[in-house]
Amino acid sequence: MAARLAPVTDAARTRPLLLLVDGHSMAYRAFFALPVENFSTTTGTPTNAVYGFTSMLANLLRDERPTHVGVAFDVGRTTFRTQAYPAYKATRETTPTEFVGQVPLIKEILGTLRIPTVEKPDYEADDVIATLARRAVASGMDVLVCTGDRDAFQLVSDAVTVLYPRKGVSDLVRFTPEAVTEKYGVTPECYPDLAALVGETSDNLPGVPGVGPKTAAKWITAYGGLEGVLAAASTVPGKAGENLRAHLDQVRMNRGLNRAVDDLELPVTVDELAAQPWDREAMHRVFDALEFRVLRERLLAMVPEEAGEADGFDLDVSTPASGTLGAWLDARRGRVLALEVTGRSTPARGDAWGLAIADGPGEAISLDLTDLSPADEGALAAWLADPAVPKAVHGAKDAWHALRGRGLTLAGIEFDTLLAAYLCHPDQRSFDLADLAVRHLRRELRTQASDDGDQGAFELDLGGSSGAGHQAAVRAAAVGELTQVLEDELADRGADQLMRDLELPLVGVLADMETLGIAVDVEHLTSLERGFAAAVADAAAEAFAVIGREVNLGSPKQLQEVLFDDLQMPKTKRIKTGYTTDAAALQDLYERTQHPFLAHLLAHRDASRLRQTVEGLLRSVADDGRIHTTYLQTIAATGRISSTDPNLQNIPIRTEEGRRIRRAFVVGAGYESLLTADYSQIEMRIMAHLSGDEGLIEAFRSGEDLHRYVGSRVFGVPTDEVTSAMRSKIKAMSYGLAYGLSSFGLSKQLTISVGEASALMDDYFARFGGVRDYLAGVVDEARRTGYTATILGRRRYLPDLTSDNRQRREMAERMALNAPIQGSAADLIKVAMLGVHRGLREEGLASRLLLQVHDELVLEVAPGEREVVEALVRREMAGAGDLAVPLDVSVGTGSSWHDAGH
């Protein structure tokens, strides 16, 4: 059996090492090693093969430390082998749809790592690898070949080792000459002889019937190789000999086809495969698009920090003498200083223990907030709280919470590099300061300089302050430089007003909301948790009773056995591990079969999900009896605010069980009621405004039910004759159009034929032509300019609109349809939040804004203020935008979030 040997270390290696990877082979294995349903971008692009391949490559680069690297790819299915034998590889299955398009993404990553890709028309990657391996050995190199093709074993020698995947792409077996001989009974040179006799199923090369590896190895040893076996074929005894004689031509054909060509003319030399410094800026762009944050960090962690200096700058870090901080700050009054706060930024338990302030590119101070003199503490508090003193920071809300925990107020934030980067690149997945420094400043946040790298570093004069203080100073300096760069980019992208008038002011509103939290009835939550736990147990018992045994209802493998083996149900979508048992597939299966086991299984899943939600809420209750969620401004590319820890925007509302959870959110002590206010059909109103369609605009101005009004026009009947089924179809289509819904998608959603769905859409557009023209025009305009824009000018850049990859292009087209509508809705609710928050203060009201849930606001109303608060909320929400249709606002009050619903 082939041994899994330890990699050769740099200390043990005396010769250069070339790593050659069979690109298609390893990408395909990575595709099947990782479930595609678990690896895709938010735009829907599958990435399992890309992730698996890149992860494998990262491990190889880390463990083997090759001096030279190259990746060989097949050009296409037609080669000199298929011309000689058309059946060669003809039985291979059609490439999975989800795999298509991932190889170009792998090549993009390799390009950022400056690893050459090599291919040769009419030949396979095997031949490219064989050629490069032979030339490398001739020039005094050792070679590692990573491939899932056993034909590569013929290349193995004292200088060439094959890394062959035993499982997936992470478990690689090292095949040396001894390992090949041990496993197959022949030397590497004779392996293709053995393969010619045995055949290769994956290549559709039939072998001699009844002849396996052991028999073939015995013949090769006895007769001195394949030529000897063929020459002595007439004397080989038994049925095996008879079969050999009947298949001599096939064996010869096999041997001709599996011989690796090692003398190709290639576009690169071995020397040109020398490892190069990575293009880190390009890496960040590609890894952002693929949403591979952890994998990127693994790769970057592999690169040792070089010593020395390159494109760096001197940063003098000091700690002002006791009592002199005020003078230091006064001397810089009027200048924008960059601020970095070190501490804990959770809403309920924030604390700050360190702070750094950078003044321009060359000077910074570092402060220990736990050890300031009274005079310095007073000077710092006054400076931080002064709204007239301009400051720049990365993540103002986190800094606000941390400083508040220390009893300090933060005001005067003029620029936030986190928000600026988000507004410029909303689809970017990481806005970490270290990433932004690399992208925009071409420097890394390190406390020593680099002398021979391709990027600079922030160089510190260590001035006696602590290591944590140094790092804070570096970060403050980076914020200062990023501010200058991102200010220009914001202006270029037309986002400076959004930053100044919307996103930055919203930081203070969200910080207040997080600090306040919302009161909860812990007893009610505890009761719910017990009830949902009982429902989970009951549903499981009923499911087990149907099948007569207990299984793990959370195990896909066991569910597959029950559903498709025991119960013989129709197969769902095929996946690597069998057939999918995801929620959508099981719901569809239940609708088709109405099987009681599925009914109990779905009930079990629903109850489990609700129980997990309640358990998470119970864990989140703070000492004050309230839950303090965290709002994120930089997650959704459309501009929507997200909620996390816990996610209060995801509390179920469409089922009675879910609504019971909302009853746990109650009015707090000293307050009269909760008030909820939300926009009615905001996205359709924005569609009417953006499209300018007179019919749709009139639908809103008429005051009638929108979907009945539209249904009456589409179906040609009076509004009072629009049935519930008609209304449901119109509602699904109206909202679906804003998300790029196709006739096929509509047919699936409404369970009707594609033809009926297409006819329904045609009738809709015949009566609302402005909507049709808008939807067509917005994609064309975005393709021309490269971006879409909301009513307030928030841009979303969509480079994939011109992609050669159909899946990526179509996903970008759907984004182009959705972004202006959903983004405009996000902008309007933000404007409303600012207006409500400001109005409560200006009118001296004790009532307060607690939650934002997409198009809904939740307030806690002080005694005697209900009417004035309702009027204020209606005014600010209705006046948040100047649309062609009225912004209708629904309001309700009650002692709980549920009761305040409307």
Q: Are 581 and 37 in contact (CB under 8 A)?
A: no
pLDDT attached to residue 72 = 95
Measure the CA–CA gap between 503 and 857, rounded to whole angstroms: 17
Measure the CA–CA gap between 809 and 815, rounded to whole angstroms: 10
State yes or no: cis peptide before 646, omega within 30 of 0. yes
User: In sequence order, what are the residues at sequence separation of 6 or more whose Cβ sits closer than 8 angstroms to the Cβ of residue 73?
Assistant: 23, 24, 103, 107, 117, 118, 119, 125
Q: Are 831 and 881 in contact (CB under 8 A)?
A: yes
**Lowest mean pLDDT segment, chosen from 44-58, 328-342, 876-890:** 44-58
**Lowest mean pLDDT segment, chosen from 15-24, 196-205, 217-226, 861-870:** 196-205
**Residue (of 801, 804, 829) closest to 817 by Cα position:** 801
The continuous run of DSSP H or E covering 317 comes out as: strand 313-318
**Residue (of 510, 497, 388, 386) closest to 836 by Cα position:** 510
**pLDDT > 70 fraction of the chain, expressed in percent and rounded:** 94
pLDDT attached to residue 750 = 80
pLDDT attached to residue 465 = 44
Q: What is the pLDDT of residues 249-264, one digit of tens each?
A: 888 888 888 888 999 9
| pLDDT above 80 for 673 | yes
What is the pLDDT confidence band of residue 231, given thresholds at 50, 70 and 90?
A: confident
Across the beta sheet with 673-679, the strand order is: 848-853, 856-861, 673-679, 889-894
Q: Rounded mean pLDDT of 499-517? A: 97
DSSP states of 42-111 as a string? TT--B-HHHHHHHHHHHHHHHHH--SEEEEE----S-BHHHHH-TTTTTTSPPPPTTTTTHHHHHHHHHH
pLDDT attached to residue 453 = 38
Q: Are 544 and 537 in contact (CB under 8 A)?
A: no
| pLDDT above 80 for 462 | no
What is the pLDDT confidence band of residue 731, given thresholds at 50, 70 and 90?
A: confident
Tokens of 445: 């946040």
Q: What is the pLDDT of residues 42-97, one digit of tens each?
A: 667 889 999 999 999 999 998 899 999 999 998 877 788 888 878 777 666 677 87
Q: How much is the pTM? A: 0.74
User: What is the sign of the dihedral through the CA atoms of 206, 209, 214 and 218?
Assistant: negative
Measure the CA–CA gap between 541 and 544, rounded to whole angstroms: 5
User: What is the sign of the dihedral through the CA atoms of 16, 22, 23 and 26?
Assistant: negative
| pLDDT above 70 for 400 | yes
Q: Are 882 and 891 in contact (CB under 8 A)?
A: no
pLDDT attached to residue 359 = 92
Q: What is the pLDDT of residues 373-387, one digit of tens each?
A: 999 999 999 999 999
Across the beta sheet with 351-359, the strand order is: 413-416, 391-393, 337-344, 351-359, 363-368, 313-318, 456-461, 443-444
DSSP states of 510-522 as a string? HHHHHHH-EEE-H
pLDDT attached to residue 163 = 95
Measure the CA–CA gap between 850 and 519, rounded to whole angstroms: 10
Tokens of 730: 């119109």
Determine phi and psi for 366, rounding to 5 degrees. -125, 130
Measure the CA–CA gap between 276 and 298, rounded to whole angstroms: 18
3-state secondary structure of 274: strand
What is the pLDDT confidence band of residue 783, given thresholds at 50, 70 and 90?
A: very high
Measure the CA–CA gap between 576 and 155, rounded to whole angstroms: 31
Measure the CA–CA gap between 244 and 231, rounded to whole angstroms: 11
Tokens of 166: 């035993």
Measure the CA–CA gap between 54 and 299, rounded to whole angstroms: 9
pLDDT attached to residue 657 = 81
Q: Are 523 and 587 in contact (CB under 8 A)?
A: no
Measure the CA–CA gap between 761 and 750, rounded to whole angstroms: 13
User: In sequence order, what are the residues at sequence separation of 6 or more whose Cβ sits closer than 8 angstroms to the Cβ of residue 94?
Assistant: none
Residue with tokens 């149900």: 569
| pLDDT above 50 for 873 | yes
First to last CA, the chain: 70
b/e burial code for range 503-512 (CB count within 10 A of at least 16 → b): bbbbbbbbbb
Q: Are 880 and 835 in contact (CB under 8 A)?
A: yes
Measure the CA–CA gap between 88 and 855, rounded to whole angstroms: 59
CA distances from 480 to 117, 330, 357, 477, 714 (A): 40, 18, 9, 5, 57
**Lowest mean pLDDT segment, chosen from 37-46, 121-130, 308-317, 802-811:** 308-317
- Give 896's DSSP letter: B
pLDDT attached to residue 446 = 60
The continuous run of DSSP H or E covering 627 comes out as: strand 626-627
Q: Which residues pair with 68 in a beta bridge?
A: 18, 274
Q: Is 718 exposed, middle or buried (0-12, 13-18, 19+ CB in 10 A)?
A: exposed
Stronger pLDDT, 303 or 471, i.e. the higher one: 471
Q: Which amino acid is at 751?
A: T
Domains of the chain with bracketed CATH: 17-183+260-273 (3.40.50.1010), 304-517 (3.30.420.10), 519-627 (1.20.1060.10), 683-819 (1.10.150.20)
Q: Are 69 and 19 in contact (CB under 8 A)?
A: yes
Cα dihedral value 122, 126, 132, 136, nearest 10: -160
Determine phi and psi for 677, rounding to 5 degrees. -140, 130
What is the pLDDT confidence band of residue 403, given thresholds at 50, 70 and 90?
A: very high
Measure the CA–CA gap between 687 and 691, rounded to whole angstroms: 6
pLDDT attached to residue 466 = 57
pLDDT attached to residue 871 = 98
Q: Are 709 and 719 in contact (CB under 8 A)?
A: yes
